[in-house]
Amino acid sequence: MHALSSLLLLGAYATQAVFGRPEDLHARREAAIIKRSVDSFIQTQTPISWERLLCNIGSDGCRAQGAASGVVVASPSKSNPDYWYTWTRDAALVLKGIAEAFTHDYNTTLQRQVQNFVGSQAKLQGVSNPVGDLSNGAGLGEVKFYVDLTKFTGEWGRPQRDGPPLRAIAMMTYARWLINNGYTSTARDIVWPVIKNDLTYTAQYWNQTGFDLWEEVQGSSFFTITASHRALIEGAVLAQSLGTSCTACSTVAPRILCFVQSFWNQNQGYVVSNINGGNYRNGRDANSLLASIHNFDAAVGCDANTFQPCSDKALSNHKSVVDSFRSIYTINRGIAQGHAVAVGRYSEDVYYNGNPWYLTTLAAAEQLYDSLIVWKQQGSITVTSLSLAFFRDLVPSVTTGTFSSSSSTYTAIINAVQTYADEFLAIIDSRKLPNGALPEQFDRNTGTPIAASDLTWSYSAFLTATARRAGKVPPSWSAATGNTLPNNCAAVAVAGTYATATNTNFPTSQTPGVPSSTTTGSTPTPTGCSEVLVTFNERASTQWGQNIKLVGNHPALGNWNPSNGILLSAAGYTSSDPLWSISVLLPAGQSIEYKYVNVQSDGSVRWESDPNRQFTVPSTCNEVVRGDNWR
């Protein structure tokens, strides 16, 4: 087995079996050895990771020559594998990390990168691609593009629906910084139009299946669904602070939260990361670790509904996912339970023979650092019957209960979890290249770094994990406003309108400042409803390749132009109940005429028979449901 440094390895393996006893001097010494080693690694690796990450961003990045400004290149590797593309997901997560770092420590270089990213994504949203275009938002589900912002037309697993919500999240972090520093007009006029397209897509398409973040399984992905929920909650709050609204965000987000709960395997105590597809996997997947850390909101504590890192569900899942890799990798064998091991994507993985990844191993550490932040913030730790097995791996004598910061059990848990998290970082230290480079994977048998070189996401994962270790808390996304399950959990998808964001020229000298009372603050919620959610349920039997659209006498319904009509979702379609459905926000009191059309596989349109369907949108705020059958 490829070792860490021999001293660190012995220290890591000897620490936690007895670490629950505060008086054990040997255990404390071993923990101190690990801490000093990881402290040294972070001090050396941090500037390297920042340098190599920024080198992968166009147009002036040292390894991104030929990439457009603001484009995040996945990796400079152009063969075996070819990652010389920009993935919407990867780029969004990298920029999310940059934006979070920027909010803690103002830096003109990072600010320029964020602004360039906003400009590049505004252009990218308008690029027609194999999934579609911006007219109905479908094109936002495209996975990757060439680094010069042109479309990629090769075979791929598409659509992938995590890109738009993640991109919105990244840009909302910067928009909130602008507002907090007195630049609300910049957030409203430049950043919000790009965000709005992604939020509209999320509200419309979240309940349709797509490929998971590993681009291999088609179905419903836990990572995608949790990102969608966060984006819409955060979007509703941001819209209000900008003096506008996102009614679709507020309408859809609670229904998504209901769906989040359906991924939980109550009997086994872990998240089934892909449902409605991917049945050949057992469900234990680093997908769920990434979901937890990227939805971290310290202000909501250990909330289980939003799968916060320190919730009993997330901790039980952490143990289950990490343990699933203990016996399958040669480099993990012999490592005792409760000690860190190299973490891959999922146990059935065969890509490059299925290996540990840097970013997934770092995610396991980051979840623990997130938990430590909240436990210290609230001054207590609660151990439930669900999370007990996780805690007993680290402190064998622990029992269920709530332990205050004045208790020896609290101290033992804090110290043990800190050491456990540091062990994951120690693994990364042992697997990095001599120059500090972090590729995509390391070999499951030898520990040798392999696959895509200088993976941008690997550097970002290191930087976010170590930021949490340092106690740097990401800005709240207002999870506390959207963590309660609603009474009505019926799925709803709200169609919206899309527009190219053309204003991407940021003003100069927008440095940290004092918010102006005339440009910031919440806008009072208006009384009554200017828009009403109308759900159209159409039952129409179709053949493969056919789609049902809604057209009518209002711009939101395409003004009778089938090309601009709204595509209904077939998520609930079965042979016995051929249901097509969509929800639309329409003006209160509006007289509506509409029809359904069947768009054939060749693009031709078949209208249903006359007369036009008619109704008047009520002036109340109650949701309206139209139940129709094809004529």
**From start to end of 53-154, where are the E strands?**
85-87, 144-146
How far lies 418's CA from each of 205, 232, 307, 470, 471, in Å? Answer: 40, 33, 20, 11, 12
Domain 65-262+483-525 has CATH 1.50.10.10: yes
Cα 243-202-618 angle, rounded to 5 deg: 65
Residue 500, helix vs strand vs coil: coil
Rounded CA gap, 321 and 423, in Å? 16
Neighbour-count burial of 491, counting CB atoms closer than 10 A to its CB (0-12 exposed, 13-18 middle, 19+ buried): middle
Q: Which of 30, 162, 198, 212 is catalytic?
A: 212
**From start to end of 103-217, where are the E strands?**
144-146, 210-211
Rounded CA gap, 420 and 364, in Å? 10
> What's the number of CA atoms in the CB half-sphere (13 Å) around residue 77?
18
CB atoms within 10 A of CB 143: 22
Task: Mark whether 148 is an active-site residue.
Answer: no
Task: Mark whether 216 is an active-site residue.
Answer: no
The owner of tokens 């928009």 is 175
> What's the number of CA atoms in the CB half-sphere (13 Å) around residue 238?
32
Q: Which residues in the chain are classed under CATH 2.60.40.10?
A: 531-629
Both tokens of residue 45? Answer: 């690796």
Alpha helices in 206-246 (DSSP H): 222-241
Q: Which residues in the chain are classed under CATH 1.50.10.10?
A: 1-54+296-476, 65-262+483-525
- Predicted pLDDT at 516: 52
CB atoms within 10 A of CB 197: 26
Query: Rounded to the nearest 10 degrees, how much is the dihedral formed by the CA atoms of 513, 518, 519, 522?
Result: 120
What phi and psi values does residue 39 have, to the nearest 5 degrees?
-55, -45
Helix or strand run (H / E) with residue 592? strand 591-599
192 carries a ligand binding annotation? no
What phi and psi values does residue 113 have, to the nearest 5 degrees?
-65, -40
Q: Which of 215, 216, 348, 628 is catalytic?
A: 215
Identify whether the C-beta of residue 316 lies closer than 8 Å to the C-beta of residue 324: no
For the chain of 631 residues, list the mean pLDDT of each consecutive stretch of 10. 37 41 66 92 98 97 97 97 98 98 94 97 97 94 97 96 98 97 96 98 94 95 98 97 94 96 96 87 95 98 98 98 97 94 97 98 98 98 98 97 97 97 98 97 98 98 98 97 92 90 93 62 49 93 94 93 90 92 91 96 94 93 90 94
Which DSSP category does 209 fall into?
-
- Predicted pLDDT at 528: 55
Paired strand residues for 221: 274
* Options 1.10.3720.10, 1.10.1660.10, 3.40.50.300, 1.50.10.10; CATH of 1-54+296-476: 1.50.10.10
| CATH T-level topology, domain 531-629 | Immunoglobulin-like (2.60.40)
- Helices 25-54 & 408-431 angle (0-180, nearest 10): 50
Paired strand residues for 145: 86, 151
The owner of tokens 């339970």 is 337
- Predicted pLDDT at 28: 78
